[in-house]
Chains A and B, each alone.
Chain A
Amino acid sequence: MTSLLWTDTRQLDALGASGPFRASRSVPVVGVDGTTLAHLSLVPKLYIKRNLDALRRAHPMPAQERAQCLAAAGELFLGEVDGVSLREHELAVCRASGVAMPVVRRASLSIAESARVAEESVQQARPAGAVNDWRSGAAAGTVWVRKGEVFAVLAPGNHPATHTIWLEALAMGYRVAVRPSRREPFTPHRLVSALRQSGFGTDQVVLLPTDHDVADVFVREADLAMVYGGDEVAARYGARADTLVQGPGRSKVLLADGNHEQHIGTVVDSVIGHGATACVNASAVFVNGDAAGVAAEIARSLSKIPVRPPEADDAVLPAFGIDQARALEKHLRSRLGDAKLVSGPDLVAELPGGGAVLRPAVVLLDRADAPQVNIELPFPCVWVAPWSLDVGVDPLRNTLTLTAITPDEALLSRLIEEPSIRNLHIGDQPTYLMRPGLPHDGHLAEFLMRSKTVMRDLPVVPEQLRPKDMPCLIAKTNNG
């Protein structure tokens, strides 16, 4: 059924402001089974700079048009783009990233939905006192404006739905440059193609695949940038006001209502939901009570998940190249120390067609402040530790999403107030849950927009009296 796609290896060109660009240099995009799925063009620094300049020179489209084009692009994404059907596309994503097919399919729907509601979702972040259009404001008030014009995204390849976020930047009128990951460039390539075919100019959104060593150019040359990565990336860019770091997730579950057995499902969902490769997947569970019993129960539940190739309709677990799978297991074992691996013994399950799946790992720790609670791996791996109120909130810090199952309102209030816990789910709400308008790391608009005070001595022009072609002053200042 798909043989045509794979015998004729796809070329993924850069999508620049002056059209597609096939570079002399390319890298193979290799599936977890070792086959080459496509060749990805790698553009040089000069090409990036010129494209970012072109984006800066371009004017944003009117807000309403942006919203319509985004919705159309979302719809197109679910159809055929550049001659590639959605099924073919999803198969490529699945084989490249190792993310299970059902998860990839849900991500496609989520991309389309996010595109449809991007504008609405952005509006959720607008300060209550600010207006979108200066003409609709009072004589003195604040107008919500872009902080810059060009937004660069150094995108990850762990999960296709990560690309839903930057769609909001387009809704805000930013011109966006996406640097795809080499691991899974199919999703952003298709998305940028779909956006262009749906009305976004080539100078509104570009796809610029590059080598690692020129990634810095994006951060330097764009007005604002978003980068994904671990501690190293966070340390490198964290201090920059013009860079939004999407760092480690270290999501956690706290079981502290005394009925642990009733919440095993929530823990398991938190570990494997979204394909177990996302920053919102739980990597630590704290138990006020019998941690060993809970760990055994989680392991038992997770062990029922079948080992399937990622493209299978009932796949759940992520797949990797065989060497990477072994390296991950080895790394985990090297970090165990006194901890006890409850699941196992064999974590790596080789797939008949090539590649391997990592079976879920559940590890029991003897104390809540063990250093391993911070280890986050790209497969279902969860550290279970005992916790009590005496230990306090310290071990729960530095968390993207914390699911807290406790009736203790004082504790919940402290967790809400704790700045390093970025999202709090209370009760049986797994860590991976998210949707447009309920962002998993704040609203992107908080980083990209600000309120500008506008005072004037002219009376407000009633809308019906305004000439149709009245130029938008905010857009006009972009000319410079």
Chain B
Amino acid sequence: MSKAVATADLDTDRNWTESEFISAAMEWHFSPATGSPFWLERAGSLEFDPRRDVRTHADLRLFPNVVNELREIPLEDLIPRGYHGQADVIGSYDSGGTTGAPKRVALLADWFERSLAWKSGRMDELGFPTGANWLTVAPSGPHIFGRLMAELPRMRGGIGFTVDLDPRWVRKCLSEGRAQEAERYAEHVVDQVASILIQQDIGVLVATPPLLERMTARDELIDAINTKVKVIMWGGAHMDPDTRYILQHEIFPNVALRGQYGSTMILGGSMERATSEPGDRSCVFDSFSPYTTFSVVDPVSHLDVAEGARGQVVMHHLSKSLLLPNNLERDMATRVAAPPGALGVSVADVAPVSMFEDSTVIEGVY
């Protein structure tokens, strides 16, 4: 049985059903005429026929997790042939690179625009102002977060101010025991933030949680944010529920704190659910279904956990520009029911694996 999918298309908006959408995507990515060299090459070694056997979101789990191969393949191999060599490529974007060499994906213009339009729509629901200036404190590259955010003020009628940052340098400093160097770098970033926040009229502030925390160490920044900023959008790293509670209720009581959670590997992020109860410390993220979706699985058996239970997050991306199912993230989250009509599940209270097991994941500024 297939459930209705509210908005879905590979090319144009259509009222797809789940199986229509998944089947159309399989057809696109595995037809010799339209699929990418990467997937067509692997099709023969799969123990199933994607075009015949993959018809539901659950069937995506038949695919192996191929993200590790994205560390070394030529990027052109990921681009579906159906674009006939005319794909409008915004650029190459990288995963964090915390575990070994970075994984790379291509960001294509059609997906970029679709994803931004969706984000902007969610921002309307979340009460983001239009016509406001933005300050985005995020890497301009190679991660996708800063690139997506830099486009939004243009779409929403404000001026985009940016401060760049290099999270890999921070992680490198920390892993080499040079915490003081990381500290200096972070203060250097906050100095740049201060200059813009104090001198310019900023209505939306985009920052990573560690940098946001760092900003709260300066009273003049707290004052500037409370006076000018309407919405703080955080993303790019985890924020624990209590830190979120303290930031929202004690430090920035009149500023809306809104989160997004995503990954370069799904070419974007999910947005915080607008209907969170006040006082509820949980933060639920809804994905851009049917294109980007989540599963939550048991870390050992990799089977779906029950609703309300915690498990490891699996991300899937399924659009015209890219097929990347079953990407097991190093995050834990609580499984929450997705909105009606959406595929997969929503996730709440995302936290790094290290908070629950005793491994050491270095997070740093990003």
Contact = CB atoms under 8 A, between A and B. Distances in A.
A306 B63 CA distance: 63
B349 to A, nearest CB: 8
Interface range on chain A: under 10, 10 to 19, 20 to 34, or 35 or more? 10 to 19
Contact of A24 (B217, B241, B250): B241
B250 A50 contact: yes
A46 B247 contact: yes
Interface string B243-258: 1011100110000000
B355 to A, nearest CB: 8
B217 A49 contact: yes
A47 B217 contact: no
Nearest to B219: A53
A50 to B, nearest CB: 7
Contact of B216 (A23, A25, A46, A211): A46
Interface in A94-130: none
A211 B358 CA distance: 11
A45 B213 CA distance: 9
A43 interface: yes
B179 to A, nearest CB: 9
A25 B242 contact: yes
A44 B242 contact: yes
B281 interface: yes
Interface residues of B, number: 15
Looking at chain B's contact residues, the main secondary structure is helix
Looking at chain A's contact residues, the main secondary structure is loop
Contact of B242 (A18, A23, A49): A23
B334 to A, nearest CB: 11
Contacts of A18: 250
A24 B243 CA distance: 10
Contacts of B355: 25, 211
Interface in B192-245: 213, 216-217, 240-243, 245
B170 to A, nearest CB: 16
A43 B242 CA distance: 7
Contacts of A211: 355
Nearest to A24: B241
Contacts of A45: 213, 243
Contacts of A43: 242
Contacts of A46: 213, 216, 243, 246-247
Interface in A149-163: none
Contacts of A24: 240-242, 245, 281, 349
Nearest to B349: A24
Contacts of B246: 44, 46-47, 50
The residue among B241, B243, B247 with the most chain A CB atoms within 10 A of its own CB is B243
B166 to A, nearest CB: 22
Given A25-B241, A46-B247, 12 more contacts: A24-B245, A44-B242, A44-B246, A45-B243, A46-B213, A46-B243, A46-B246, A47-B246, A49-B213, A50-B216, A50-B251, A211-B355
28 contacts: A18-B250, A23-B242, A24-B240, A24-B242, A24-B245, A24-B281, A24-B349, A25-B241, A25-B242, A25-B355, A43-B242, A44-B240, A44-B242, A44-B246, A45-B213, A45-B243, A46-B213, A46-B216, A46-B243, A47-B242, A47-B243, A47-B246, A49-B213, A49-B216, A49-B217, A50-B216, A50-B251, A211-B355
Interface of A: 18, 23-25, 43-47, 49-50, 211
